[in-house]
Chains A and B, each alone.
Chain A
Amino acid sequence: MKCVKTTLKGWKEIPEGCAITEPGSSVNFDVTAWRTSSPVIDQNKCTKCGMCFLYCPDSAIEIDEAGNYRVNLSYCKGCGICAKGCAPKAITMVKEGH
């Protein structure tokens, strides 16, 4: 499964000495395939306390223009910490591929 969003470079094209010369390139790394379940946010129950945003180890929780919390599924590994930390129980972990 392809996990890198950009075109994979050959050995002649990548910088010498295992270096990364492009800052912030980890955003190109797609971890979708790592997940077995994903968080679903019930916007009616969400109090916008921001705990999921703070707790997410992969910074996969984003805030949209309307101020609502959304999950960026390209980076979510499905660990469920956001659901555990959600006081109003607005986040449910839903199994994928079943």
Chain B
Amino acid sequence: MARRVGISGNYAVAYAVKMADVDMIAAYPITPQTTIVEKLSEFVANGELDASYMNVESEHSAMSACVGASLTGARVFTATSSQGLALMHEILFMASALRTPIVMANVNRALSAPLNIWNDHSDAMAQRDAGCIQLWVRSAQEAFDTTIEAFKIAEETRLPVMVNLDGFILSHMYEPVELADEDEVRKFIPSRPLENRVSTKKAHAVGVVGPPEYYYEMKYQAIDAIEKSRLKIKEIDKEFNSRFGKSYGEIEAYGMDGAEAALIVMGSIFGSAKEVANSLREEGKKVGVISLRLFRPFPIQEIRRAVEGIKAVGVVDRATAPGGVGNPLYNEIAAALYDMPERPAIQGFVAGLGGRDIRQDDFRLMYSATEKAAREGAGRCIYVGLRE
């Protein structure tokens, strides 16, 4: 039986991982992720979860251990944040190219310096090109559901999947979460053993040298896999819906009927953005908001459809790309919309770095600057709330 409980976003992830009946967990504690693996260690210690729990000396080792375990055919999980994810950097590229279906939770936190434990998206954006599928959630419920979907996506595409949830805002906030029935979850992601690729029964070398004659082709396989994952992600979300009555899609568009200006956001700020859009609608402003649940692969067609007929979009980045043309999400949106016959003006924003709250007034400012961009064209990136 499904049951409704009050738990944090991190615990929601831990319960999903337990229900996925993982074989191996390797992790190194880091704020604000710690309580995910702490809860999982409890499950393992008290016999609720039959998994090998590996304490490692760093996140570099955690991800390396996950790659090795995954190659044996085990279902594996790890979780990290910020500096921990940065330390996994080189192994993430290997995880995708070696096609290891690792599921990881990344509890989004700012990268140093200065040292900061609070929420923004700089950690995940720095791993943009590692070849991992990136899903972004907006509530504890979505964290639970998405983690379950992530195992199926990972195993059917044989790619690592990163589930991103905003540090503290989601990770430590207690919310009512409906935990699905464990048997139903097992039916959705049966624990069938994956292929053991390091068996001694047949020759199979992994971690090999790819000379110039082969590197390109080997790399392209992972590029092709993430491209093709678009369809799988859609199908799996549909199947999840048929079993559990919930579907999240690649993006969610809110208040877009007749909208002239729209914000594009990722993560938990979607809630505030909707709230402010409602108030502005009551004041007669034609505004809407789009939230991305999928960042890799980037939902190009879905975004293009959603902004059709919109005069301006405001892209809210919670990470920066210093010295670049724009910031990470802005760049993706600009590239995705570039060859639309009637593309909207694209106004860039940076907000909420290092855990700075994005308040209603900040959203009002962003909506009104986007409306201005609809009339006069977009200006330079606006650093919302920055003191001079």
Contacts and interface: CB of A to CB of B under 8 A. Distances in A.
Interface of A: 3-4, 8-11, 14-23, 29
Nearest to A26: B209
Given A3-B213, A8-B213, A11-B224, A20 B205 contact: yes
Contact of B158 (A11, A17, A29): A17
29 contacts: A3-B213, A4-B211, A4-B213, A8-B213, A9-B217, A11-B216, A11-B217, A11-B221, A11-B224, A14-B214, A14-B221, A16-B99, A16-B158, A17-B99, A17-B206, A17-B221, A18-B208, A18-B218, A18-B221, A19-B197, A19-B205, A19-B206, A19-B208, A20-B203, A20-B205, A21-B202, A21-B203, A23-B203, A29-B211
Contacts of B221: 11, 14, 16-18
A9 B158 CA distance: 22
B220 A18 contact: no
B192 interface: no
Nearest to B214: A14
Interface string B221-234: 10010000000000
How would you classify the secondary structure of chain A's contact residues: helix, strand, loop or mixed?
loop
Given A9-B217, A10-B217, A11-B221, A18 B211 contact: no
Contacts of A19: 197, 204-206, 208
B98 interface: yes
B97 interface: yes
A49 B214 CA distance: 39
How would you classify the secondary structure of chain B's contact residues: helix, strand, loop or mixed?
loop
Given A19-B197, A19-B204, A19-B208, 8 more contacts: A3-B213, A4-B211, A18-B98, A18-B206, A19-B205, A19-B206, A20-B204, A23-B203
Interface of B: 97-100, 158, 197, 202-208, 210-211, 213-214, 216-218, 220-221, 224
A9 B217 CA distance: 8
Contacts of B97: 17-18
A14 B206 contact: no
Contacts of B210: 18
A7 to B, nearest CB: 11
Contacts of B218: 11, 14, 18
Contacts of B205: 19-21
A8 B216 CA distance: 12
B197 A20 contact: no
Contacts of A20: 203-205, 208
A28 B363 CA distance: 62
A19 B202 CA distance: 12
A20 B217 CA distance: 13
Contacts of B197: 17, 19
Given A10-B217, A11-B220, A11-B221, A3 B211 contact: yes
Contacts of B202: 21
A22 B97 CA distance: 19
Nearest to B94: A18
Nearest to A9: B217
A22 B205 CA distance: 8
